[in-house]
Amino acid sequence: MGKLYIVPTPIGNLEDITLRALRILKEVDLILAEDTRTSGKLLHHYSIGTPMQSHHMHNEHKTVDALVKRMQAGETMALISDAGTPAISDPGFLLTRACVENGIEVDCLPGATAFVPALVNSGLPNDKFIFEGFLPVKKGRQTRLLLLAEETRTIIFYESPHKLIKTLTNIVEYFGSERPVSVSRELTKMYEETVRGTATEVLAHYTNKPPKGEIVIVVGGKN
């Protein structure tokens, strides 16, 4: 019987990878990568020549059964995403579940993920929090926001730069203009930035300065 390793990769700075992760990526029979071109840069940087196969949200439903059979036959595999920990708003859940259901050992390594540093450096309470990932684009968005407006724990969202203004506007509308907000973008990269303030203040900042890069929004809970 083979084994599946879930291996976090850097969210920006290539030095943010563990020695164990590098060893596993060298030792496994196959690396399952969200985008082989993106992961290829990381593997080249660390002189890792392990074969790669594409495994992303558009093909994972079709490939899971075949991958499980290969692991049952003895192959070891490492699942990585473009950045951070697989299955956290990235592909990985379906394969992990299939392995568990078929008695294949799954070993998730600790490592990089964007929401933890964004939460910690937000200055907002982090003893209790909820991670929402990406909000629904259309259907269910209003319902979700109305529910979250009553949440007393700190709330964490992922967002793309071209939707940040819309989401901040929604936060002002549903959560209130004075709700504390922290927006972190380009974490661990050269132009890393965290902007803190009320929902209105942060919205005004990014209205005047359109954002770039991957974004984490941290919102204080309702008092």
The model's pLDDT over 5-43, given as tens digits with 9 standing for 90+, comes to 999 999 999 999 999 999 999 999 999 999 999 999 999
Whole-number pLDDT of residue 38: 94
pLDDT at 83 over 90: yes
CB 45 within 8 A of CB 16: no
pLDDT at 58 over 90: no
CB 151 within 8 A of CB 223: no
**pLDDT band at residue 89 under the 50/70/90 scheme:** confident
Show the tokens assigned to 25: 């990526």
Q: Name the DSSP letter for residue 82.
A: S
In 3-state terms the chain splits into helix, strand, coil percentages (rounded to 5) of 35, 20, 40
Whole-number pLDDT of residue 56: 84
Is 74 in a helix, a strand, or coil?
Answer: coil
CB 96 within 8 A of CB 32: no
Domains and their CATH numbers in the chain:
3-108 (3.40.1010.10), 115-219 (3.30.950.10)
Q: State how far the alpha carbon of 132 is from the alpha carbons of 28, 84, 102, 154, in Å.
A: 32, 16, 29, 11
State phi, psi for 42 to the nearest 5 degrees. Answer: -65, -45
DSSP 33-70: ES-HHHHHHHHHHTT----EEE--TTTHHHHHHHHHHH
Q: Which pLDDT tens digit goes with each residue over 143-202? A: 999 999 999 999 999 999 999 999 999 999 999 999 999 999 999 999 999 999 999 999
Q: Which residue type does 207 have?
A: T
Whole-number pLDDT of residue 138: 87
How would you classify the pairing of strands 30-33 and 52-54? parallel
List of residues 6+ apart from 15 with CB closer than 8 A = none
Mean pLDDT value across residues 58-63: 84
State phi, psi for 3 to the nearest 5 degrees. Answer: -160, 150
CA distance 54 to 16: 23
CA 168 vs. chain centroid, Å, equals: 20
List of residues 6+ apart from 8 with CB closer than 8 A = 17, 21, 80, 84, 85, 86, 109, 110, 111, 112, 113
Whole-number pLDDT of residue 129: 98
User: If you average pLDDT over every residue of the chain, what do you get?
Assistant: 96
CA distance 5 to 31: 9
Mean pLDDT value across residues 193-222: 96
CA distance 135 to 198: 20
Of 53-67, 173-187, 203-217, give the lowest mean pLDDT range: 53-67
